[in-house]
Amino acid sequence: MSQPGPQSPPFPNLSHSILVNPTFTQHNQIYNVRKGERDGYARLSEHAAPNALHDSGHVVDPPKCHPNTRVAIIQTVIDWSSGTTVNKEMNAKPILWLKGGAGAGKSAIARSVAERTSKEGLLLGTFFFGAGDATRNHVGGLVATLAYQICSVLPKLREVVTSFIEDDPLIFSRSLSAQFTTLLIRPLSIIFANHSGSAQIPRLVIIDGLDECSANIDSQRDLLFTLQEVITSTTLIRFLVCSRPESHLNNAFSSLRMANIHYKIFLDDNYSAREDIHLYLEDKFREIKEGHIFKHKLPTTWPSPDIIQKLVYKSSGQFIYASTVVRYVESPRHRPNQRLDAILNLRPPFKDLPFTELDALYRHIISKADDPSTVLDILAFPIVHKHLADQYGDLVKITDIEKILQLEEGDVEVILADLQPLVKIVKDVIDRRGVSFLHKSLADFLCDSQRAGDLFLDLSAIRVQHVARLISAVSATFSE
């Protein structure tokens, strides 16, 4: 008599099956024996990019919002994702473009939104592009990564998506549009068609760092147009897209295809950015005073409110400056007050310069311009003629710049098109257009020869050049 025990699974009927290595096909279903899962799902996993997930363990120190900061903007995005914001125009748009200058905190906001919406059951998936990561600096793994997450969020979709992949094993080599249709739109349509009850189904997809997707700007534009096709064919998805305000992205979002389907939020001093940076600096300096190894060497009143306010002003609403200051000051190998004095130029700098990361960002953006030399000539004006800026409310008129540099009308805006993460074109109360820095620390960089190197602006020499050009322009006018 046989002893009772675990029963072995019955062998499949292989009379009409094809066996290749550890994988066999039967009744149109493909199984991967080694992995214990269907081959379609295994293919999906292989094509996904784990580093692009908002909660990826592969990303070192991923940016997140400091507690109790960016509260308003985060809540605004979450309300839009669920269609409950009081802004009716915003609610009607299926794409939200969150744009901001370099270091404005876009990725931190995107991750914080992802964490909140994931807990609240509103998140379908995320993809965080990263220029320095070969697994997530292109669109190749975008749809697979989103589909993988959606199968986890909505488990009923796993078998559907798996079957679609097995029906078309080459799906990952097809166009983005085809991948979205096969792996997202069709499966979601099936789920929504069979959905009943009041429970809310998640709809939010977050795509962060669009400007870091490939060196080819055409792929970024093509991705946006693919999103337009997706939301045209379905109302089941809402896309939050975060990026710098690069000129080609501004053009794409302003096109006829995109203009009426997206709502944009520009991260400047709105949404209490300065107040949030002030809170962040206060909290971080308090942590340093309470936990630093040399805390007993710190003055009781360090840092003074005036110093914190000065750092907030220098930040210009961009968190990258404040976070760079904190990382430099909290070094366990130095006295924090001395490190802060070095930042404020109250003592000679240490061997490691405080703004290396920020300087590299400035250098990268300026060097990308078609004519960096003329860019520097233009950027000198808000610095050299600061008295004019103060008089007109942080405004240096574009017409004055073009006359002195002997440029054609409209040249300044064209030349600065690639500098939109750092500068902006503003208007005063009588509609005069001028150039303004998004980062006040950009002037510090350009005027420091050690930091700027070949981008250094010699202000004394530039003033002489401007006077000479003015004299030349006036002389030419009288000689006509």
pLDDT value at position 478? 61
What is the average pLDDT score of the chain?
85
* Number of neighbouring beta carbons within 10 Å of residue 1: 3
Q: Which region, left, alpha or beta, applies to residue 344 given φ > 0 means left and ψ of -120 to 50 means alpha?
A: alpha
25 pLDDT exceeds 80?
no
Q: What is the separation, in whole angstroms, between the first and last Cα of the chain?
A: 119
C-alpha 353/C-alpha 378 separation (Å) is: 27
C-alpha 289/C-alpha 323 separation (Å) is: 17
236 pLDDT exceeds 60?
yes
Helix or strand or coil: residue 426? Answer: strand
Beta bridge pairs of residue 238: 204
The DSSP letter of residue 99 is: E
pLDDT per residue as tens digits for the range 198-234: 567 788 999 999 999 976 788 899 999 999 999 998 8
7 pLDDT exceeds 50?
no
pLDDT value at position 131? 87
Whether the predicted model's global pTM rises above the 0.85 cut: no
Residue listed under structure tokens 């909140």: 116
State whether the Cα torsion 171-177-178-184 is positive or negative: positive
Q: Amino acid identity, residue 427?
A: K
Band (pLDDT 50/70/90 cuts) for residue 259 is: very high
Helix or strand or coil: residue 269? Answer: coil
Structure tokens at 477: 């006018």
- Domains, the chain: 48-267 (3.40.50.300), 273-354 (no CATH), 359-479 (no CATH)
476 pLDDT exceeds 70?
no
Band (pLDDT 50/70/90 cuts) for residue 436 is: confident
pLDDT per residue as tens digits for the range 123-135: 999 999 998 899 9
pLDDT per residue as tens digits for the range 36-65: 578 899 999 999 999 999 998 877 667 789
pLDDT value at position 270? 60
pLDDT per residue as tens digits for the range 144-160: 999 999 999 999 899 99
pLDDT per residue as tens digits for the range 359-404: 998 998 998 888 999 999 999 998 887 655 545 455 678 988 898 8
C-alpha 143/C-alpha 160 separation (Å) is: 15
In 3D, which of 188, 29, 212, 54 has the Cα closest to residue 137? 212
pLDDT value at position 379? 94
In 3D, which of 433, 439, 443, 440 has the Cα closest to residue 411? 433
